[in-house]
Amino acid sequence: MMIQRCGGNQDWPGGRDEAEIESAVRDKRLLSLELEWAGSGRMRTLSPAEREAVVEQALALGARRFILQDGGGALADRDALALLRRIRSRGGEAVVITGGRSLSRAVAGELADLGVHVIWRWPARRPAPIGRGAAPAGLPRNLAHLLSAGYPAPGFSLGIRIPVGRSGLRKVEKIWRWSRSLGLTPSLERTWRGDARETRRGPSVSPAELRTLAGRLAAIEARGGGSDWSSRTFPALFGCDRFRTSLAVTAEGDVRPCLGLGLKLGNVRETDLGRIVGNDPVLAEMRNPRTKVNGFCRTCGFAATCSGCRALARLWTDDPWASDPECWEKNVPAGDVHAVDVVRRIPHKGPMRFLRGTAWLDDKKAILAMRLPRRGVFIARDGTVIPLVLVEMLAQLCAAQRAHDLGSPDGSRVHGYLVGMDHVHFRKPIAAGDPLRLIVWNTLELNEINRVEGEVFRGPELVARAELTLIKAETWLAPEDGAANDASPAADPRIPFPGWVSDPMGRGILRAVRRFEVEADGALRAVLRFDPDFVGFDGHFPGHPVVPGVGLVYAGLLLAEIGLGRNLVFRSLKRARFLKPVRPSVPLDVQVRISRRDGDSGIAAEVKMLLGGETAAKYEFGADEAGGGGR
Ligand code: SF4
């Protein structure tokens, strides 16, 4: 397992030149190269000749800055010093980021003579220095070597990289002030273990704490710190877009967009950097991140200049294009903030009200943190949660937002319907009792149409995301005359109902299945009729019952389970349109077409639902076969 350390764009002494970055992207050039120097225990590391060849390739592509990430022992290694000398002799700028364990007095002098910038990592467990000005007693010897070699001076700066973690944000401030008092350049570092596929723990510092820290550091700088910290382009503390003009090469020669992002683009033993920069499709996307970034990062007010940290996005969401999961712009209400009691505000009542607690609204988003209850309409006996409930929860958070906008304390002035769902993905299973954080933000408001996006997190992990279309109405829609048909048939006892369904919504839907057959072409046909006591009508909405959209989608999954005789796990939903409200005691004709997904055991299904011959709902969903057991 690798330790990943990153300071975002902060190891960029001298600041950014946006025009130069844009021209390098356009011309498929590099501006910098990161080289990892491994500690002991790594196999098949690059030879000195291979590293030199990589440096030459980067120089040929225009790179001028070379950043050596010392994973341990680099500064006691003559090969590393020879490489730095070569970089300098070829006109390159060299930066070494090091814990400095192997740094001797002689090497410190050599680095100063070569004009190598050094960024020294403050050890995570080391207490903050006491006092300002002169080096305090107990200064690490290797740092003292750098100071006595003349660091910092014009042409060879000395930075202090401060780890941000549980050891204390006050400590970070103290080290920051102390660094400034010695003329050193402080910066922050985030540390995490492994890449996206390895065991993860939540970040030790919350986005709100990061925002507080950033504010305090900006205040220090405003009082005369001297760095460009307070004018940082990126509000996301560790956000950067260095991969637009940079590449990273691991000790073994793997090429990545940056060292923290475990996306392998090739290996320098098999291909050269020019081919990767010129032809790699993944890198081409990374070099133009603004067109690819999703979620809140796409619509945020800083989107033109910030794309968040792609490594953290991949770490916590498995998607390098997800919005930065740790950015406070997205996670912390700001500006004019309103607290809204969701229980009272939303029109959903009884068992169909899934939210509780206080939502926080600002002018960009609504955020609600709550724990899933142990029991509920979408919760099975074993605590399994049907993930579709998350979509309904996001819709209910929108309703709370609207109640606030309308000044409707009890939600009675809020009328509306969920009429579309797109790009719905359930990324992780959730269970009863899980702590969740829901965020919704508007992407379009046009007359009565409201489009929103939403994400659900468990800790920093993205578990679901969805795009919803809602229609606002002045009042609830009246049922169409003659829609009810009390002559619809009783359930056919021969239908092979799945025995594993134990959640009240699933059981209620199965009770509504009156006819089921498989046609000659494999399509499933069913007739559903929801009796007035169907749980989905209980509070959705009081006095104006309609089957919730998520209930209609769940019905498609259950019919597929009946047809296949297998337990399925819902994964994704797209092109869902709800065109007519489905009310009690109305026969609904349903057709489900199932196809196998290529390359795995999953299925894709197209569902169409008709009321009196007219389309009431249609959607496409994807599901995987469950490992076994019930729910
Ligand atoms: S939400 Fe995304 S784009 Fe906006 S500031 Fe945060 S990381 Fe940057």
Ligand 1 pocket at CB < 6 A: 235-236, 239, 296-297, 300, 302-303, 306, 308, 323-324, 327, 329-330
528 neighbors 587 (Cβ within 8 angstroms): yes
**Cα 214 from chain centroid (whole Å):** 21
Residue nearest atom 3 of ligand 1, based on CA coordinates: 297
- Which residue shows structure tokens 């192997």? 102
Give the model's confidence band at 196: pLDDT under 50 very low, under 70 low, under 90 confident, else very high: very low
Token pair listed for 511: 């009770």
- Per-residue pLDDT, 566: 92
* Strand pairing class (415-426; 568-578): antiparallel
Ligand 1: distance of its center to the CA of 303 in Å? Answer: 6
Determine the residue of 299, 300, 319 to mutate for testing ligand 1's pocket, defined as the one with the most ligand atoms within 8 A of the Cβ atom: 300
Ligand 1: distance of its center to the CA of 236 in Å? Answer: 6
Positive or negative, the CA dihedral 320, 326, 327, 329 is positive
In whole angstroms, give the CA distance from residue 622 to residue 348.
28
- Which residue shows structure tokens 């000395």? 158
pLDDT-wise least confident of 239-248, 266-275, 439-448, 581-590: 239-248
Determine the residue of 232, 233, 234, 365 to mutate for testing ligand 1's pocket, defined as the one with the most ligand atoms within 8 A of the Cβ atom: 234
Is a pLDDT exceeding 80 seen at residue 80?
yes
- Mean pLDDT over 258-271 rounds to 92
Q: Dmax over Cα atoms in the chain, in whole Å?
A: 95
Token pair listed for 627: 């490992």
Determine the residue of 302, 328, 365, 462 to mutate for testing ligand 1's pocket, defined as the one with the most ligand atoms within 8 A of the Cβ atom: 302
pLDDT-wise least confident of 137-146, 195-204, 532-541: 195-204
Determine the residue of 324, 328, 367, 462 to mutate for testing ligand 1's pocket, defined as the one with the most ligand atoms within 8 A of the Cβ atom: 324
Torsion of CA 457, 463, 468, 472, to 10 degrees: -40
Percent of the chain past pLDDT 90, that is, above it, reads 59
- Per-residue pLDDT, 611: 95
Give the model's confidence band at 623: pLDDT under 50 very low, under 70 low, under 90 confident, else very high: very high
In this prediction the pTM is 0.85
Ligand 1: distance of its center to the CA of 329 in Å? Answer: 6
Ligand 1: distance of its center to the CA of 125 in Å? Answer: 31
- Mean pLDDT over 209-230 rounds to 75
193 neighbors 3 (Cβ within 8 angstroms): yes
Residue nearest atom 2 of ligand 1, based on CA coordinates: 297
Ligand 1: distance of its center to the CA of 399 in Å? Answer: 25
Determine the residue of 329, 439, 457 to mutate for testing ligand 1's pocket, defined as the one with the most ligand atoms within 8 A of the Cβ atom: 329
Percent of the chain past pLDDT 70, that is, above it, reads 89
352 neighbors 536 (Cβ within 8 angstroms): yes
Ligand 1 atom closest to the CA of 298, numbered from 1: 3
Encode pLDDT of 531-585 as tens digits: 999 999 999 999 999 999 999 999 999 999 999 999 999 999 999 999 999 999 9
In whole angstroms, give the CA distance from residue 250 to residue 43.
12
Closest CA to 7 of 163, 172, 115, 234: 163
560 neighbors 614 (Cβ within 8 angstroms): no
Mean pLDDT taken over the chain: 88
Query: Exposed (0-12), middle (13-18) or buried (19+): which is 177, by Cβ within 10 Å?
Result: middle
Residue nearest atom 7 of ligand 1, based on CA coordinates: 308
Q: For the chain, percent helix, then strand, then coil, each to nearest 5? A: 30, 25, 45
- Per-residue pLDDT, 485: 55
Encode pLDDT of 325-351 as tens digits: 888 889 999 889 999 999 999 999 999
Ligand 1 atom closest to the CA of 328, numbered from 1: 6
Ligand 1: distance of its center to the CA of 312 in Å? Answer: 12
In whole angstroms, give the CA distance from residue 287 to residue 277.
9
Ligand 1: distance of its center to the CA of 235 in Å? Answer: 7
